[in-house]
Amino acid sequence: MEQIEGNIIDIHRRKIFPGILSIDQGVIVSISENTNSYDHYIVPGFIDAHVHIESSMLVPEEFSKLAIAKGTVAVVNDPHEIANVLGVEGIRFMIENSQKSLIKTFFTVPSCVPATPYDCSAGKIGVEEVRELFASYPFVALSELMNIPGVLHKDPEVWHKMDLAREHRLRIDGHAPGLTGKDLYDYIKAGISTDHESFSLREGLEKISLGMKIIIREGSAAKNYNDLKPLIKSHPGSVMFCTDDSHPDDLIQFGDIDKIVRKALEDGFDLFDVLKIASLNPIEHYDLKVGTLQEGDPADFCVWKNLNFEKLMSVYIDGQLRYSSDISLFSQSDSACFVKKDYSNLNRFNRDFLTLSDLKKPVSSKITCIKVYDGGLITDKMVFSFSSSVENLESDLNRDLLKIVYLNRYENKPPQIAFIHGIGLKKGAFATSISHDSHNVMAVGTNDEDLLNSINTVILNKGALVVVSKEKTELLPLPIAGIMSDKSGEEVAASWEKLIRLLHQNGCTLTSPFMTLSFMALIVIPHLKLGERGLFEYDQFKFLVD
C-alpha cells in the first residue's frame, strides 16, 4: 500500500485539507485528514472534454507525453480526422497506439465521415461501421453531429447512427455553431447533449437553457474562452473545457487544459467551480473511469506546487507515477525512447502534380472573397471590385487579396480556386494536407510559381506542411495519413515553430496560419469556405457556383 501526503482538494465537498491518500492496487482505499503543514496540493487531474489528437500532428503515445506534463490525466478523443482518410482502419490505429499512452484516452465514434454529402474523403463511417465499432470497443459517445440538416430533416442514416448510440446508452455530441431558435430546440430534442462550437454568450446561454452542455474551447486556432467565460460563474454545472485542436508548440509553451484553468482563476472565478468544470463535469457527463480524489476511486491525480497551477510536480494514474518534474519527459515510460516506424501503409494519397496553367484564375469586375479572422474559425464574405477584367489574378497585395487553392488528394480532379483576405502574406506561399474534415490539400500564395511549388511539395511527400518563397522551401512531412508525423512532440514543435517564423517573416499576420488554413475547407462552419465545387456558403448550405 502506498501513501501520498499533501493538501487535498475535495471538489465534491468544496474543501481543502491536509491529509493522506492510501492507495492499494491503483485505487484510493482511504483518505485521512491530519494537522500537518504541506507546501503542495493534491488535485484531481484535468480532462480535455473534446479533442482531435490527430490535430496535434502526433500519434496518441507522443501526444500523451506533452499533455500529462500539463496535468491532463484523460482526454475524450474524437478520431474523426484520421477516419476521413482511413475509415475504421484509422480509428483502430488510434486505439491501438493509445494503449501505450501515459494518460487515459477515451474514444468517441465519428458520426459524420465524410462530414457532409458535399465533402470528398477516402474514409467512410456509415451505419454498419458505427454498429461494428460500438460492438467492438467501449466508446463513450457518438462524436459531434455536424450534419445539422440531416438531424433536423430526419435523414435516415443520421438518425440510425443516433439510435445506435442510444441503444448503447451513450452520449451524442453536437456541433452547432450559430444555431438558434426552433432549429436549435429540435436539434437538442433529438438527443444531442453538448456543443463546443458556441462563439457568443447569448448562444451559449440559449443552448444551456434547453439542456445542452457547453464545452468552452481554447485551442490553437479557435479561442472561445473570452466570449463564454461568464458561464463559469452562472452555470458551472453545465460547462466543460476543451482544446479541440492544439498544436505541439502550444502544448509545450502555453499548456493544455491547465492554461484555461489559469485564465479562469486569474479572472477571479471560484476555484472549486473551475476544478469542477475541468475535471468532474466531463467524468460525470461521459461516465469516464477517472478518479476525483474520493475513496473507492481510481488513484488519478496531480500534485501541484501551488494553486496558481504553474508548477506541476507529479501525476499519478491508477496509482502509478506517470510523470514527475524531476524526471526527463522522455523517460516517463517504457516507450519513452522514440523509435521511428514505417507508417507508409497508413495513408491514402493519389494525386498527380499540377502545372502553372492549372492555377490560372481569370477575374472580371467583381470577385467574392473569404475573409478570415485571427483566432477564430468563423469567416465572412467580402466582395472586391476591379476596374477591368484580369486574365489571371495571382494576388493583390495592396488589398491583402491572395489566391487560395483547394485540391482533392484522393482523385485527380481539377483544383478549386478562390481568393482570401486577412492573412497578410507579402511573399511566397504555404500549403497543407491537413484540412478539416476530409484532409485534402489547401494552399495560399502571393504568386503562382510559389503556390505551385508548395502544392507539389505536399503531393511529393504524400502529406506535409510547406512554406515556400523563391529563396527557400521548408517543410514538415506528415507520413501518417497525411496528417500526423512519425516524430516526437519536441521535434514536431521545433519544425512547426520554424515554419511559423518563416511565414511571419514573409508578412503573415495570423498567429497560427496553418491551423487557420486547415479550417478553410470546413464547410460546416459559417460563413464562407472553399470545397469540392468552389466557394460554399454555410447560411444557404450550398455552393455559390455548381
Q: Mean pLDDT across the stretch 249-267? A: 96
Mean pLDDT computed over 261-282: 98
CA dist 146 and 522 (Å) reads 10
Return the SS3 of 317.
strand
- The whole-angstrom separation of Cα 367 and Cα 384 is 5
Q: Taking a C-beta distance cutoff of 8 angstroms, is the pair 519, 436 a contact?
A: yes
β strands within 95-209, DSSP E: 104-109, 141-145, 171-174, 194-195
CATH superfamily of 37-317: Metal-dependent hydrolases (3.20.20.140)
Q: Largest Cα–Cα distance in the chain?
A: 82
Instruction: Name the strand (E) or helix (H) holding 10.
Output: strand 2-10
User: Per-residue pLDDT tens for 377-397?
Assistant: 899 999 999 988 999 999 999
Strand partners, 303: 42, 314
* pLDDT tens digits for range 27-54: 999 999 999 999 999 999 999 999 999 9
What counts of helices (H) and strands (E) characterise the chain? Answer: 17, 27
Taking a C-beta distance cutoff of 8 angstroms, is the pair 23, 319 a contact? yes
Q: Give the model's pLDDT for residue 307.
A: 96
Give, in order, the Cα–Cα distances in Å from 430 to each of 8, 190, 466, 472.
49, 41, 5, 12
pLDDT for the residue numbered 213: 98
pLDDT range class, residue 116, cuts 50, 70, 90: confident
pLDDT, average across residues 466-481: 94
Cell readout for 441 is 490539400
The answer to whether 246 touches 56, Cβ cutoff 8 Å, is: yes
pLDDT confidence of residue 376: 81
Q: Which residues contact 128 (CB under 8 A, 6 or more apart)?
A: none
pLDDT in tens, 431-460: 999 998 899 999 999 999 999 999 999 999
DSSP calls for 264-287: HHHTT--HHHHHIIIIIHHHHHHT
Average pLDDT for residues 342-369, to the nearest whole number? 92
Torsion of CA 220, 381, 531, 485, to 10 degrees: -20
Cα-only R_g, the chain: 23
pLDDT at res. 15: 97
pLDDT at 333 exceeding the cut of 50: no
Mean pLDDT, rounded, of the chain = 94
Burial 502-517 (b: 16+ CB within 10 A, else e): bbeebebebebbbbbb
Residue with cell 511571419: 504
The per-residue pLDDT for 336 is: 43
Cis bond before residue 175 (omega within 30° of 0): no
Which residue in the block uniquely carries the three cell numbers 492554461? Answer: 259
- Do residues 147 and 115 make contact, with C-beta atoms less than 8 angstroms apart? yes
Element (H, E) at 401: strand 401-407
Residues 474 and 465: their CA atoms lie apart, in Å, by 8
Summarised one tens digit per residue, pLDDT across range 172-186 is: 999 999 999 999 999
Query: Which residues in 293-307 are b (16+ Cβ under 10 Å) and which e?
Result: beeebbbbbbbbeee
Q: Given a cut of 50, is residue 332 above it in pLDDT?
A: no
d(CA 36, CA 229) in angstroms, rounded, equals: 36
pLDDT higher than threshold 70 for residue 145: yes
Which of 223-237, 318-332, 398-412 bottoms out in mean pLDDT, i.e. has the lowest? 318-332
pLDDT value of residue 334: 44
Burial state string for 9-33 with b = 16 or more CB within 10 A and e = fewer than 16: bbbeeeebebbbbbbeebebeebee
Enumerate the CATH 3.20.20.140 domain ranges in the chain, comma separated.
37-317
